[in-house]
């Protein structure tokens, strides 16, 4: 899930913010306008609106869902509310938890769904699947009050404070939208019920309050938008006495033992609020269809009976038609009238089935889906109202349509042709000259109620006038459409052109057409005026729906019997075809199994042959590898012998070199010793010579001494 940001002036796409996997349920913008928080059921994300980048993401456990995450006014605090009724406050800058609001231990579980904060950000109100509201003071972080709404309130859908110019942001008036489509405004301090908007017949879906608190905008269940003036609503407040709602002061009281009778008569106030009046034919019983009431324990019989009694008699008689289920004539409606919207398809099928159960003729009329579809699309959220509107249209504006069934209503078409002949003979003569009958130029407009030739707004505008006039106005509108389109019709001459013209939208001023219809209503002579043959408006009876038998019953019964016969024949044919299909499927299955068996056997044989070939190839490869291995072994053996021989030779050579070196060392040793001996001998000779010289010197000294003595 992604969010888009659009520039309001240029209508250009500014940014596309992706991040949510589920649908975004709420968006909260900071008071500075810079940050925003988007919330889905599984996560909440904080975005920077200056850069459109995600700053933080809050992830939670899968078992605990997020109800809402929003900024508190005039602060940087973020409140996060979870499905287990826990409420936490966070600092928006650091996302540190500031505090947690206490959840009452006693009393029923509320299952918070709706939240509201005063403009000063000091008080918080929460509500959910209960008629109790919890009021917290955010300054003291305490539950200061428990407010019990009237007994009509079972589920709180939305909470909104009404701002006041003189309360300084401490709003006192709280609007509580409940499952019954009524929004009740109470004072949270005095706990008085001031006023309400909406009703069972005109239920509210969602509400928005203007910033100054002067207006309340409500989206209604029927698709309209109502704007209420708070000032006019509060002026009416002084007429009936306000009723008191139950209050439980203090958070520590035992809510289970609380038994307070609450008066709810204030909601019977008249519903004229903003000057706009909305007329509803009858209160739809499912306008209070509250999806929030899907309680775990379900609805008991007493509650269902109370729910039915709350809406009077109409739901029972309509349900008696719907309880009969889908009519056999409309089981395959989607084949002939395919609609893209499954909701519209189912709604059209239900309404047509109810009409067929009401009167047998409506199961045979082929154009009935064309008559009912505009109203189904308009009242798609209110099936009972849609049914009664269609029934009212058939009873009043489709008078005498079915007397010539299965042919078109020739009497009605003759009325239209007589009026056209009186007011535009030239155009009628042109149609006659081209072979165009009223079945081609008037019946397509009537059987579709102009839905093929008008847009939605044009259709609504036309039927506002049709419903406000005599039933003959529909025929006059048909003639007015033809006369207002006389120029293009006079240019047509082919039948296909006329058929296309009356089944497609054309360039037509609806305002001029309506004026022309009023002119025809007032200027048509009485002898040809449809008013003389059509009855005045007759509403549906209040006890039971009126009996509708303005049709040839024998033809309808014959067609019904024939259709039932055909249906039974189709069922028999379908049964036989199913049996044949089953036999054929069994034959095809057996044939496929046999084929698969032989195919499997062939595949197995091929696989076996392939594997035998592979095995032979592998054996051949193994033989070759063994031969190569033997050759390699022989080569390795030769290399080993060569290596051994080389090693032996290197060893012998090494031994020889070692012996040679030893001999060389011996020679060197001998030479050294010989040199040493020679040097020793030379030294000894020198010593002897020195000794001899010393002895010669001594001899001479002795001779001199002797000579001296003897002299």
Identify the helix (H) or strand (E) that includes residue 668.
helix 553-710
For residue 537, the model assigns a pLDDT of 86
What pLDDT is stored for residue 315 in this prediction? 44
Query: HSE of 136 in the Cβ direction (CA atoms, 13 Å)?
Result: 23
Sign of the CA dihedral with 148 first, then 149, 151, and 157 last = negative
Say what the pLDDT of residue 200 is: 80
Q: pLDDT per residue over 484-529, tens digit each?
A: 999 999 999 899 999 999 998 888 899 999 999 999 999 999 999 9
Alpha-carbon gap, residue 472 to 458, rounded angstroms: 19
* Residue 582, pLDDT score: 86
Q: Is the pLDDT assigned to residue 210 strictly greater than 80?
A: yes
Residues 393 and 413 in one domain: no
Q: What is the pLDDT of residue 384?
A: 82
Residue 705 lies in a domain: no
- How many domains is the chain built from? 4
Segment 82-122, tens digit of pLDDT: 888 888 888 877 778 888 888 777 667 788 889 999 888 88
Q: Which residues contact 82 (CB under 8 A, 6 or more apart)?
A: 60, 64, 65, 66, 67, 88
Q: What's residue 3's pLDDT?
A: 63
Q: What is the pLDDT of residues 303-335, one digit of tens each?
A: 334 333 333 333 445 666 776 778 878 888 888
Burial of 62 (0-12, 13-18, 19+ CB in 10 A): exposed
| H helical segments located in 105-263 | 230-236
For 328-368, write each residue's pLDDT tens digit.
788 888 888 888 888 888 889 988 988 888 887 788 788 88
Q: What is the pLDDT of residue 552?
A: 52
Query: Tokens 């035992």 identify what position?
Result: 254
Give the pLDDT confidence score for residue 571 in this predicted structure.
Answer: 78
**For residue 335, what are the contacts with CB-CB under 8 A and spacing of at least 6?**
none
Q: Are residue 453 and residue 322 in the same domain, yes or no?
A: no
Question: Quick check: 237 and 190 in contact, CB under 8 A?
Answer: no
Instruction: Give the start-end residues of each E strand in 425-466.
Output: none
What is the arithmetic mean of pLDDT over 389-402?
Answer: 88
CATH assignment at residue 424: 1.10.472.80
- Asked whether residue 350 is domain-assigned, the answer is yes
563 and 418, same structural domain?
A: no
- Residue 157 sits at the vertex; the CA angle it makes with 164 and 345, to the nearest 5 degrees, is 130
CATH of residue 34's domain is: 2.130.10.10
Under a CB-based contact definition with an 8 Å cutoff, are residues 37 and 78 in contact? yes
- The helix (run of H) or strand (run of E) holding residue 632 is helix 553-710
**What does the alpha-carbon distance between residue 125 and residue 711 come to, in Å, rounded to a whole number?**
165
Per the structure, the complete domain to which residue 315 belongs is given by 302-398
**601 versus 571: which is more confidently predicted?**
601
Judged on CB neighbours under 10 Å (0-12, 13-18, 19+), 550 is middle
Q: Establish if 605 belongs to a structural domain.
A: yes
> Could you say which of 612, 637, 654 is where a domain stops?
654
> Residue 596: which residues within 8 A CB-CB, separation 6 or more?
none
| Best-predicted range by mean pLDDT (240-249, 550-559, 584-593) | 584-593
User: What integer best gives the mean pLDDT of the chain?
Assistant: 79
Domain assignment present for residue 278? The answer is: no
Are the beta carbons of 161 and 116 closer than 8 angstroms?
Answer: yes
Range from 319-323, 472-476, 688-692 carrying the lowest mean pLDDT: 319-323
Residue bearing the bigger pLDDT, 193 or 284: 193
Burial 482-499 (b: 16+ CB within 10 A, else e): bbbbeeebeebeeeeebe
Quickly count: other Cβ atoms within 10 Å of residue 570's Cβ. 12
Same-domain check for residues 565 and 525: no
261 φ, ψ (degrees, to nearest 5) = -85, 125
Within this chain, do residues 206 and 119 fall inside the same structural domain, yes or no?
yes
Distance, CA of 49 to CA of 118 (rounded, Å)? 25
In-domain check, residue 503: yes
Residue 10 domain-assigned? no
Q: What percent of the chain lies above the pLDDT cut of 70?
A: 80
The pLDDT-based confidence of 560 (bands split at 50, 70, 90) is low
* Token pair of 675 as six digits: 């040199």
pLDDT tens, residue by residue, 409-460: 888 999 999 999 999 999 999 999 999 999 999 999 999 999 899 998 899 9
d(CA 653, CA 99): 98
- Banded model confidence at residue 156, pLDDT cuts 50, 70, 90: very high
Tell me: do 174 and 38 sit in the same domain. Answer: yes
Confidence of residue 187 (pLDDT cuts 50, 70, 90): confident
Are residue 185 and residue 317 in the same domain, yes or no? no
Q: Are residues 481 and 565 in the same domain?
A: no
Within a domain: residue 106?
Answer: yes
So what's the pLDDT on residue 32?
72
* Rg of the chain, C-alpha, whole Å: 53
pLDDT score of 12: 61
Do 138 and 211 belong together in one domain?
A: yes
Task: Please give the average per-residue pLDDT across 598-609, as a whole number.
Answer: 87
Of these ranges, 53-67, 186-200, 246-260, the one predicted with the greatest mean pLDDT is 186-200
Do 374 and 417 share a domain, yes or no? no
Listed range (21-30, 245-254, 447-456) with the worst mean pLDDT:
245-254
At residue 29, does pLDDT exceed 60? yes
306/367 same-domain check:
yes
Q: Residue 11 — left, alpha, or beta (φ > 0 → left; ψ -120 to 50 → alpha)?
A: left
Per DSSP, 405 falls in state: T
Evaluate whether 43 touches 20 at the Cβ level (below 8 Å). yes
Residue 552 within a domain: no
Q: Which of 617, 638, 654 is the last residue of a domain?
A: 654
Long-range pairs for 21-26 at CB < 8 Å and ≥24 separation?
Answer: 25/68, 26/68, 26/69, 26/70
End-of-domain residue from the set 398, 426, 451: 398
Please tell me the predicted confidence (pLDDT) of residue 443.
Answer: 92
Contact, 228 vs 116, CB < 8 A? Answer: no
Instruction: Please state, in angstroms and as integers, the Cα–Cα distance from residue 220 to each residue in 196, 201, 202, 205, 685, following that order.
Output: 14, 10, 7, 5, 149
Pairwise CA distance, residues 227 & 73, whole Å? 26
C-alpha 702/C-alpha 704 separation (Å) is 5
Same domain (yes/no): 175, 131: yes
Kind of pairing, strands 2-6 and 87-91? unpaired
């Amino acid at each position: 899930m992604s969010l888009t940001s659009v520039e309001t002036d240029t209508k250009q796409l500014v940014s596309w913010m992706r991040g949510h996997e589920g649908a975004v349920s709420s968006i909260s913008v900071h008071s500075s306008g810079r940050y925003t928080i988007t919330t889905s059921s599984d996560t909440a994300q904080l975005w920077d609106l200056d850069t459109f980048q995600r700053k933080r993401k809050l992830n939670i456990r899968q078992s605990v869902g997020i109800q809402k995450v929003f900024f508190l006014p005039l602060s940087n605090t973020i409140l996060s509310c979870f499905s287990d009724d826990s409420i936490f406050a966070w600092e928006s800058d650091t996302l540190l938890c500031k505090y947690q609001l206490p959840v009452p231990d006693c009393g029923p579980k509320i299952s918070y769904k709706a939240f509201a904060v005063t403009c000063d950000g000091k008080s918080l109100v929460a509500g959910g699947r209960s008629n109790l509201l919890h009021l917290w003071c955010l300054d003291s972080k305490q539950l200061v009050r428990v407010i019990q709404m009237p007994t009509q309130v079972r589920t709180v859908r939305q909470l909104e404070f009404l701002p006041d110019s003189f309360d300084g942001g401490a709003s006192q008036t709280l609007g509580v939208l409940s499952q019954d489509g009524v929004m009740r405004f109470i004072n949270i301090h005095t706990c008085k019920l001031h006023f309400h908007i909406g009703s069972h017949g005109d239920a509210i879906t969602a509400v928005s309050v203007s910033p100054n608190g002067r207006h309340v905008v409500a989206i209604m269940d029927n698709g309209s938008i109502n704007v209420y003036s708070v000032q006019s609503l509060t002026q009416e407040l002084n007429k009936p006495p306000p009723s008191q709602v139950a209050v439980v002061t203090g958070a520590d009281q035992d809510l289970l033992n609380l038994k307070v009778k609450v008066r709810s008569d204030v909601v019977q106030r008249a519903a004229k609020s903003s000057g706009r009046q909305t007329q509803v034919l009858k209160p739809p019983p499912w306008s209070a269809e509250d999806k929030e009431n899907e309680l775990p324990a379900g609805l008991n019989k007493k509650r269902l009976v109370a729910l039915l009694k709350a809406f009077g008699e109409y739901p029972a008689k309509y349900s008696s038609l719907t309880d009969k289920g889908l009519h056999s004539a409309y089981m395959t409606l989607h084949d002939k009238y395919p609609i893209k919207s499954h909701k519209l398809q189912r709604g059209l099928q239900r309404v047509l089935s109810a009409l067929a159960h009401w009167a047998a003729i409506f199961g045979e009329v082929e154009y009935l889906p064309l008559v009912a579809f505009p109203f189904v699309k308009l009242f798609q959220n209110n099936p009972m109202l849609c049914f009664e509107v269609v029934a009212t249209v058939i009873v009043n504006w489709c008078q005498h349509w079915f007397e010539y069934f299965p042919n078109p209503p020739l009497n009605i078409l003759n009325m239209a042709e007589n009026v056209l002949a009186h007011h535009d003979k030239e155009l009628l003569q042109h149609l006659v000259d081209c072979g165009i009958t009223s079945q081609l130029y008037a019946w397509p407009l009537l059987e579709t109620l102009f839905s093929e030739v008008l847009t939605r707004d044009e259709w609504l505008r036309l039927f506002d006038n049709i419903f406000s006039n005599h039933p003959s106005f529909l025929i006059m509108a048909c003639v007015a459409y033809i006369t207002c389109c006389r120029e293009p019709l006079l240019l047509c001459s082919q039948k296909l052109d006329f058929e296309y013209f009356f089944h497609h939208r054309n360039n037509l001023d609806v305002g001029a057409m309506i004026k022309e219809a009023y002119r025809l209503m007032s200027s048509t002579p009485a002898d040809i005026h449809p008013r003389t043959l059509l009855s005045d408006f007759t509403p549906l009876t209040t006890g039971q729906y009126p009996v509708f038998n303005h049709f040839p019953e024998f033809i309808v019964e014959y067609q019904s019997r024939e259709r039932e016969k055909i249906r039974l024949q189709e069922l028999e044919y379908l049964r036989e075809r199913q049996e044949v299909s089953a036999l054929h499927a069994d034959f095809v299955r057996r044939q496929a199994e046999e084929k698969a068996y032989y195919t499997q056997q062939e595949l197995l044989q091929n696989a076996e042959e392939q594997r035998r070939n592979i095995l032979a190839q592998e054996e051949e490869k193994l033989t070759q590898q063994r031969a190569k291995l033997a050759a390699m072994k022989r080569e390795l053996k030769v290399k080993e012998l060569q290596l051994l021989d080389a090693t032996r030779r290197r060893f012998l050579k090494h031994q020889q070199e070692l012996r040679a070196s030893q001999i060389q060392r011996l020679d060197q040793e001998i030479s050294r010793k010989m040199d040493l001996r020679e040097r020793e001998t030379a030294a000894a000779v020198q010593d002897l010579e020195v000794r001899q010289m010393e002895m010669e010197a001594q001899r001479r000294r002795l001779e001199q001494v002797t000579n001296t003595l003897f002299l």
